[in-house]
Structure 1
Amino acid sequence: MAKIAVEEPYEDVKKALEEKGHNVTMFVTDENVTGYDLGVVRTINEGHNDEFNFPVVAMSGMSIDNVVEAVEHRLNQV
């Protein structure tokens, strides 16, 4: 079971990931977020990739199912 940080306000993504058995916590963008296996964010700003100390999945243009698939894929790579 992975610890995943999901950017507010994506409660639907949080719920979908919890249904897959993950431990999911919501966060706000300017919060200092550490200690997670993976993060789900709205978009990744160019030049701000060092904002997190874990891999992130950017939701931009993806459905909830796509986000869950991308998260599971990234977790399997780690």
Structure 2
Amino acid sequence: MAKIAVEQPFEDVKKALEAKGHEVTMFNTDEDASGYDLGVVRAINEGYNDEFDFPVVSMKGMSIDNVVESVENRLNQFGV
């Protein structure tokens, strides 16, 4: 089971990932989020890729199903 951080206010993404068996925590972008296997954010700002100490998936332009699929693909890449 992966520890995933999901940016507020995307509770629907949190619920979808929890349904897949992941441990999901909500966070605000201005918080210092760390210690997660993966993060899900609204969009990745150019130049701010070092904002987190874990890989992130951007939800920009994706459905919830696409986000869940992308998260699972990334986790598989990293062997989580």
Q: Say yes or no: TM over 0.5.
A: yes
Return the TM-score normalized by structure 1.
1.00
In structure 2, the residue matched to 1:55 is: 55
Superimposed CA distance per residue, residues 17-74 of structure 1 (whole angstroms, 9 cap, x where no aligned partner): 0000000000001000000000000000000000000000000000000000000000
Q: How large is the RMSD of aligned CA atoms in angstroms? A: 0.2
- SS of structure 2 residue aligned to 1:32: coil
- SS of structure 1 residue aligned to 2:26: strand
Deviation at 1:10, TM superposition (A): 0.1
In structure 1, the residue matched to 2:10 is: 10
- SS of structure 2 residue aligned to 1:40: strand
- SS of structure 2 residue aligned to 1:36: coil
Return the TM-score normalized by structure 2.
0.97
In structure 1, the residue matched to 2:31 is: 31
Gaps of 5+ in 1: none
- SS of structure 2 residue aligned to 1:5: strand
**Given residue 33 of structure 1, which amino acid in structure 2 is its aligned partner?**
A
Gaps of 5+ in 2: none
Q: How many residues were matched structurally?
A: 78
